[in-house]
Structure 1
Amino acid sequence: MSLAEIPLCVWRTRGHDFAFRGRNIRYWAAGQGEPLLLIHGFPTASWDWHYLWQPLSRRYRVIACDMLGFGDSDKPRDHDYSLIEQADLQQALLDHLQVSQPVHVLAHDYGDSVAQELLARHGESRFDMASCVFLNGGLFPETHRALFIQKLLLSPLGWLIGRIFDRCSLDRDFSRVFGPDTRPSESELDDFWSLIAAGQGHHILYRLVSYIPERLRHRERWVQAMQHGRVPMRFINGAGDPVSGRHMVERYRELVPDPDTILIPAIGRYPHIEAPNLVLRLYEEFRSGLYGLLPVAATSRVVQDSAPANHPFALSTTIQNGSC
């Protein structure tokens, strides 16, 4: 089954706005059923989910926003950006939409850390989480391998690096984190850049990247929430990601009891863009398991694609049992 792309120009027309602590936040909502919160990564925005948006909205009430400092939301220049505040934002959005049911979460990259904070709040009875699926992200900061550009942004010259970061820089850095056969097209790069550069967002990249040391500060609380909580979790990972690929899955399996992990060998940091059909199938499998439609057990699997994922409409897959 092919998944239809939602062009960025169309996606933008379907958004709505709400105010969060005096800032304008752009969000999207569609469908009916159990709420499913989609949380995007760095440095992109919620358009990352566009391949999955329509099929997921046929079964769930899907909700996503461009977090503060990202995409088409406000990007204040002198703001101290925080993952904790982004978790507050997600809860404020759910309150704005009057969501009262337990919330399922599907998160990626930077969004994984926001999801970890929400998971910790669930354990503290401050958030009602029904399940959580992570895509590539720095769940364990000791295993995260920052890119050179991220290290530069964290340096005293970070403000200058952000100002000279441009579309060519994005092309170079994305080429390193996507799979070798699944790199974004020129038009996709144009769209990614449009979201990053909106409101001169590239000028605040050095502020947004403060999430890397922030992960260290909250590491124990977040990892303990994953180890001791009872929220069903799955980790779907593009193994070709040099930042949080196969090595992050190995660490997950060391630390998380009864781990449910899936590796996609030929895919990089953005599996929901590089192999959306496969990610959709793996997510639906996970959700079916929650309701007893499929058996639930700790598992480690390797999933092989038989077609390049930059042609996401023609994926066929086989699943192999194996260890990570």
Structure 2
Amino acid sequence: MPIAEIPLRVWRTRGQSFSFRGHSIRYWSAGQGEPLLLLHGFPTASWDWHYLWAPLAQRFRVIACDMLGFGDSAKPHKHRYSLMEQADLQQALLAHLHVDQPVHLLAHDYGGSVAQELLARHHERRAEIASCVFLNSGLFPESCQILRVQKLLLSRLGWLVGRSFGRDGLVRTLSQIYGPRTHPSESALDDYWSLITANAGTRILHRLIAYVPERRLHRERWVGALQHGAVPLRFINGVVDPVSGAHMLERYQQMVPNPDTVELQGIGHYPHTEAPVQVLRHYLSFREQPLSFVPQKVAWS
């Protein structure tokens, strides 16, 4: 049974704002129960969760924001963007909402690195994380494949590449990383583009891409956070993703003790929009496990 989506125009009307270090951040919150923090990827925004939002809000208190530099949040042009600061932002949002109990994480791509930092802080007793589920994320930088446009953004001419990046470039990029039968509609592409260009967003793409070398810089800390074993983890992976698909899943299974993984055949980099019903089922099955769960490898077609 398909899941109803939330149109972007409706999603935007439901958002609220708070100030983080002088910058306006858009966030969303719904439901009751244990807090579940949703962390979006690059270069999109929290609207990525629009298929899963309502069914998750029926069970949990779901919280998400457009991170600094993304979506409808502030995009300061001369800012030095950092995954560390994005983790600070998540903790500030939780404090703003008076969340004072352990938080569950559901993270994708860029948000997966933010989640790794929050896990590291958990082990340092600077955060309280109850569980974490990753969707296609560059958890091990040595296994993450960089797209051509990302390489160009990292170059000396990255500022020019970002400013000249257009909707056609977005379409070409997404066509490379989605599954062969799960490409977004023209309407969805328009909405993604609207979120990227909001607040002159193309002017900072070359600054946001700094997360790529930052992942390498903090690799030992963030991989160590996965290997600690104190927080239940699951990795749900669209295996045809050329960026962080089957090869990233294989690396996860090599590096993480007793890995709990799910393979989504024919699905690419955005499982939560390409196969939301499957992602929801696998996420809920993870949450229904007892705390002394036995990790397992699950393959699905």
Q: TM-score, normalised on structure 1?
A: 0.92
What letter is aligned with 1:303?
Answer: W
1:98-247 mapped onto 2 (5 Å cutoff): 98-247=98-247
> Secondary structure of 2:200's partner?
helix
**Paired amino acid for 2:162:** G
Q: Secondary structure at the match of 1:91?
A: helix
- Structure 2 matches for 1:296-315, cutoff 5 A? 296-304=293-301
SS in 1 for 2:54: helix
Structure 1 residue aligned with 2:279? 279
Cα deviation code 1:82-131 (max 9, x no counterpart): 00000000000000000011000000000000000000000000000000
Q: Distance in 1 between matches of 2:232 and 2:136?
A: 17
d(CA) in 1 for partners of 2:110 and 2:11?
21
Residue number in structure 2 paired with 1:262: 262
Do 1:123 and 1:229's aligned partners in 2 also have CA atoms closer than 8 Å?
A: no
Deviation at 1:229, TM superposition (A): 3.5
Q: Does 1:9 align with 2:9?
A: yes
Match of residue 68 from structure 1: 68
Q: Shift of the alpha carbon at 1:173?
A: 0.5
Distance 2:300 2:166 in 1: 35
The offset of 1:291, in angstroms, is 5.3
Q: What CA deviation, in whole Å up to 9, does each residue of 1:2-36 have, x standing for no partner?
A: 31110000000000000000000000000000000
What secondary structure is seen at the aligned counterpart in 2 of 1:29?
Answer: strand
Instruction: Confirm or deny that 1:59 pairs with 2:59.
Output: yes
TM-score of the superposition, structure 2-length normalised?
Answer: 0.99
The one-character-per-residue Cα deviations of 1:62-85 (angstroms, maximum 9, x if unpaired) are 000000000000000000000000
Q: Write the letter of the residue equivalent to 1:79.
A: H
Deviation at 1:265, TM superposition (A): 1.5
Q: Point out where structure 2 has 5 or more consecutive residues left out of the alignment.
A: none
What's the C-alpha RMSD, in Å, of the aligned pairs? 0.8
The letter for the 2-side match of 1:299 is Q
Give, in whole Å, the separation in 2 of the partners of 1:56 and 1:161.
Answer: 38
Deviations 1:210-232 (A, max 9, x none): 00000011000111111114100
CA apart distance, 1:297: 1.9
AA aligned opposite 1:172: R
Structure 1 Cα separation of the partners of residues 276 and 167 of structure 2:
24
Q: CA–CA distance in 1 between the matches of 2:295 and 2:38?
A: 24
Deviates more, 1:57-66 or 1:283-292: 283-292
Contact between 2:229 and 2:257, CA under 8 Å: does it hold in 1?
A: no
Does 55-64 or 197-206 show the bigger shift?
197-206
Written as runs of structure 1 = structure 2, the 5 A alignment for 1:23-42 is: 23-42=23-42
The alignment of Structure 1 onto Structure 2 pairs a total of residues equal to 301
CA shift for structure 1 position 290: 3.5
What is aligned with 1:47? 47
Structure 2 CA distance, aligned partners of 1:169 and 1:75?
Answer: 20
Counterpart of 1:313 in structure 2 is none
Counterpart CA distance in 1 for 2:254 and 2:291 is: 27
For the 8 Å contact 2:51–2:272, the answer to whether it is kept is yes
Q: Are the counterparts in 1 of residues 154 and 209 from structure 2 also a CA contact under 8 Å?
A: yes
